């Protein structure tokens, strides 16, 4: 009886559950390695991406961004790929490459600009990007032949001078006046008239200084009476009285 009760009350020990041990460290290292490989793949030149905007950019826009790459070889490849492209959006990028610190890139950009002059829109592009062209004057390594061509094209657009002087103020008309004086794009009499009608005060000052030096007091007095511009009135009044 006792033996029966002992067998009845005996508790069988459960077999221990075997949990396979996984190496947490190895999994973490593997995951980090995978992330690094993906990052390196994304940053590879062949998969050149531009941050969050990558999905919104066209293939052409990505090539334009590559023209600003820190890698000279990347810029060279893009210039070679785009050598038959004459899209207006490419033009300012070519102007910047005219002073590229890699010689082959400067030459490729210059060759492209020289070909572009055969297209009808070349003059309009030169006018539209005149300030960018003007900055090339003070940059090192600018391709001289292409720069001279650009300035020559701007100098032919005399209607552009009248429009800029009469309607705009600030850097553009002042820079334009500087180049007109430096390269003598228009004759002196026409320049006087352009500056007299200019909207920008500093451009008008060139005309004022000239008439104060070269005209008689009677002529200056007549100008003082006719002018409605305060800066002209003040300067002529100070000179006469």
- How many structural domains does the chain have? 1
Asked whether residue 72 is assigned to any structural domain, the reply reads yes
Asked whether residue 223 is assigned to any structural domain, the reply reads no
pLDDT tens across 92-132, in order? 999 999 999 999 999 999 999 999 999 999 999 999 999 99
Task: Look at the block and give the residue holding tokens 């000239």.
Answer: 210
Nearest one of 155, 138, 149 to 109, comparing CA atoms: 149
| Distance separating alpha carbons of residues 209 and 187, to the nearest angstrom | 17
**pLDDT value of position 218:** 86
Asked whether residue 215 is assigned to any structural domain, the reply reads no
**pLDDT value of position 116:** 97
**pLDDT value of position 36:** 47
Asked whether residue 18 is assigned to any structural domain, the reply reads no
**Torsion angle of the four alpha carbons 103, 105, 108, 112, in this order, in degrees rounded to the nearest 10:** -130
Asked whether residue 100 is assigned to any structural domain, the reply reads yes
**pLDDT value of position 48:** 47
Q: Crossing angle for the helix pair 72-81 and 59-66, nearest 10 degrees?
A: 140
Nearest one of 110, 92, 178 to 149, comparing CA atoms: 110
Nearest one of 148, 100, 170, 157 to 128, comparing CA atoms: 157
**Confidence (pTM):** 0.74
Asked whether residue 87 is assigned to any structural domain, the reply reads yes
Q: Which range of residues forms the domain containing residue 113?
A: 52-156
Enumerate residues 6+ apart whose C-beta is below 8 A from 181.
Answer: 191
Largest CA distance in the chain: 147
| Distance separating alpha carbons of residues 143 and 138, to the nearest angstrom | 12
**Spans of the chain below 50 pLDDT:** 11, 13-15, 19, 24, 36, 39-50, 52
**pLDDT value of position 137:** 94
Report the sign of the C-alpha dihedral through residues 165, 166, 167, 170, in that order. Answer: positive
């Amino acid at each position: 009886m006792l033996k029966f009760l002992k067998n009845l009350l005996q508790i069988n020990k459960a077999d221990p559950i075997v949990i396979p041990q996984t190496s947490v460290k190895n999994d973490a290292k593997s995951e980090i390695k995978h992330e690094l490989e993906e990052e390196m793949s994304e940053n590879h030149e062949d998969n050149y991406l531009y941050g969050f905007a990558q999905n919104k950019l066209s293939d052409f826009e990505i090539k334009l961004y590559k023209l600003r790459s820190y890698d000279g070889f990347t810029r060279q490849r893009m210039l070679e790929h785009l050598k038959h492209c004459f899209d207006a959006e490419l033009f300012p990028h070519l102007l910047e490459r005219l002073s590229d610190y890699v010689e082959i890139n400067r030459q490729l950009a210059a060759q492209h600009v020289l070909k572009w002059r055969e297209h009808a829109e070349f003059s309009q592009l030169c006018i539209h990007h005149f300030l960018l062209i003007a900055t090339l004057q003070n940059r090192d390594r600018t391709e001289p032949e292409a720069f001279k061509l650009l300035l020559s094209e701007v100098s032919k657009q005399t209607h552009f001078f009248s429009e800029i002087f009469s309607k705009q103020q600030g850097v553009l008309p002042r820079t334009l006046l500087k180049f007109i004086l430096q390269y003598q794009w228009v004759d002196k009499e026409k320049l006087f008239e352009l500056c007299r009608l200019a909207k920008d005060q500093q451009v008008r000052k060139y005309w004022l200084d000239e008439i104060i030096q070269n005209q008689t007091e009677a002529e200056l007095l007549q100008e003082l009476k006719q002018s409605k511009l305060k800066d002209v009135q003040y300067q002529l009044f100070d000179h006469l009285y």
